Structure 1
């Protein structure tokens, strides 16, 4: 393999088109060579120099491809990733990495046998708000953290005329698999494996065919951790609420990178990921409140680390253990919601 990694993408919807292709196209250490998609016009519109193929098998059969991004419907992730690994390709799998802990383990074991990297795309670790929270916690700004609440809400009423796969029932479908991996991964990244998992997973939107709300409590001996998401929140007023022995931090709004990517802006300019002041969080301590400028969000470090992991054998930012823990939490959340019991981790 040359020092420039040859990349293929399977699927060119929101993830492939707006998240991966822009970052890959401006990074000189990657060459986005080939895309397998049912939308050739979208591929050519993005970059006419990229080769289009109709099927994933055509892409996997190309011996020059070193790395494949799997950006297809959730229930297909494991099968496509397995076939890519069987062709000795490194793989990045969109969330969810797998639809069960068992499948995640099988895929990771195959990657190890093939001598390949298999990792998950957890871009929200590089959101401006989460980077700001990490900075505050590392500095001890809140004292000892005792309560952490993370929300990821959207206003997405059911459109009965739409045919999007995300609104159809099936394995790996629903909000727990859609937005859940983002905020669950963030909490596990901060606090490690929990002692227990307790969850309520529901349908709250009229005419919804999928679960669209969840409330998950991760049990830790020294803190309360709660993660919640709804697809029927019109005003996204609360993102994070952290309370410690010496202060609190409250944060609203979402990272700006997705908005800018959807506007066909390419990452790279100096202002990329800079959050407007009306989204900055507020730190409360010592009887005072202070609006804190958010850290600059940027998903580029994910790709930089990926290059180092493939070429120089560095540890992937999202490790096999991270992937297993998240898959296990989702499995336990589903079981907890069904049995109305607290599940030991």
Structure 2
């Protein structure tokens, strides 16, 4: 393994521009070596030394590249990840990992057989809001958690300009797109559930893909609700946790995406720092006294993921997002669609 990991990105749309290229560029362990742009030439404007290919196949034939980022439309993930692994490349694939669990298992087995790294970009594990939620739970500030609710809401009646997101294709819709984040966070916090109930609907007037869902994950003494709607003008707090000792209420307030869209690089001052008015409200009992206070969040930082990738490739450290975790996300999505269709709780 070379000291600098030469990396190629399969697409330079919003995902490539915002969530991948800046981190690869800033981290000294990586080199943003190549990108696929079929008609535009945007990458060269910001990264003059990058090689531009017009097809993924051409980029995969580049023997210099050790790592490929698959950030193409969801339904193409399986084919491109498979091709990259067969070309001998390590792979990061955007969420959702695949559109079904059979595809996920196939890719995991292929990567293992070739002794290559396969990781899924579940970047929301590194959001400032999620990091403080996890700390509150791990520190036992609420006691045993009895109820949790996580939201990812927006207000947008009009369809996305990204046509592939609004077509009735495998892997489209809010549950695959935004639900992947919520499910991964729930599994990180609470583990795999015993059962799932779901209500998945289309609510925008012109939409043909799901844009509303509610999932309930069943655990022994815990219920976790995951909710998303594209027609919520006045959003509720994104995290609501209630335990035997108290509650924690938190907005979804990570600012990294906004910083990246403004053209900032992830080594900028105050990267990922929340404003104090976004801090979460803790109302609990500590050492016999009732406490009600706002807790400052740790800075969000998606670079933690990329540094984890570097350590995994260069120093044989653990994969920062094991593909088995991402396979479990897809398993829950598949089961949620079954539950919504059949109108019943589905047990694993």
How far 1:343 moved relative to its partner?
1.1
User: What is the alpha-carbon distance in structure 2 between the residues aligned to residue 159 and residue 218 of structure 1?
Assistant: 29
User: What is the alpha-carbon distance in structure 1 between the residues aligned to residue 106 and residue 12 of structure 2?
Assistant: 26
CA RMSD of aligned residues (A): 1.3
2:156 partner SS: coil
User: What is the alpha-carbon distance in structure 2 between the residues aligned to residue 9 and residue 186 of structure 1?
Assistant: 25
Asked if the contact 1:12–1:39 (Cα under 8 Å) also holds between the matched residues in 2, the reply is no
2:42 partner SS: helix
Instruction: Note the alpha carbon deviations across 1:55-107, whole angstroms, 9 max, x for none.
Output: 00011000110000011111001100000000010000001110001110011
**Partner in structure 2 of residue 25 of structure 1:** 25
**Partner in structure 2 of residue 139 of structure 1:** 139
How far 1:153 moved relative to its partner?
1.1
Q: Choose 38-47 or 62-71, whichever is displaced more.
A: 38-47
Asked if the contact 1:236–1:253 (Cα under 8 Å) also holds between the matched residues in 2, the reply is no
User: What is the alpha-carbon distance in structure 2 between the residues aligned to residue 94 and residue 314 of structure 1?
Assistant: 21
User: What is the alpha-carbon distance in structure 1 between the residues aligned to residue 263 and residue 277 of structure 2?
Assistant: 23
Asked if the contact 1:82–1:107 (Cα under 8 Å) also holds between the matched residues in 2, the reply is yes
The two structures have a TM-score, normalised by structure 1, of: 0.97
How far 1:308 moved relative to its partner?
1.4
Change (3 A) 1:239 1:39: farther
**Partner in structure 1 of residue 276 of structure 2:** 277
Instruction: Note the alpha carbon deviations across 1:165-210, whole angstroms, 9 max, x for none.
Output: 2112111110011101111001101111110111111001111111
**Partner in structure 1 of residue 5 of structure 2:** 5
1:40 partner SS: coil
User: What is the alpha-carbon distance in structure 1 between the residues aligned to residue 324 and residue 69 of structure 2?
Assistant: 20
User: What is the alpha-carbon distance in structure 2 between the residues aligned to residue 209 and residue 39 of structure 1?
Assistant: 28
User: What is the alpha-carbon distance in structure 1 between the residues aligned to residue 256 and residue 133 of structure 2?
Assistant: 17
2:72 partner SS: coil
Change (3 A) 1:127 1:86: same
Matched, 1:336 2:339: yes
The two structures have a TM-score, normalised by structure 2, of: 0.96
Of residues 260, 283, 297, the one that matches 1:294 is 297
Any unmatched runs of 5+ in structure 1? none
Asked if the contact 1:236–1:252 (Cα under 8 Å) also holds between the matched residues in 2, the reply is no
Change (3 A) 1:113 1:146: same
Report matched runs for 1:1-345 at 5 Å. Answer: 1-159=1-159, 162=161, 164-286=163-285, 287-345=290-348
Any unmatched runs of 5+ in structure 2? none
User: What is the alpha-carbon distance in structure 2 between the residues aligned to residue 255 and residue 95 of structure 1?
Assistant: 18
Change (3 A) 1:54 1:333: same
Q: Following TM superposition, where does structure 1 have runs of at least 4 consecutive aligned residues deviating by more than 4 angstroms?
A: none
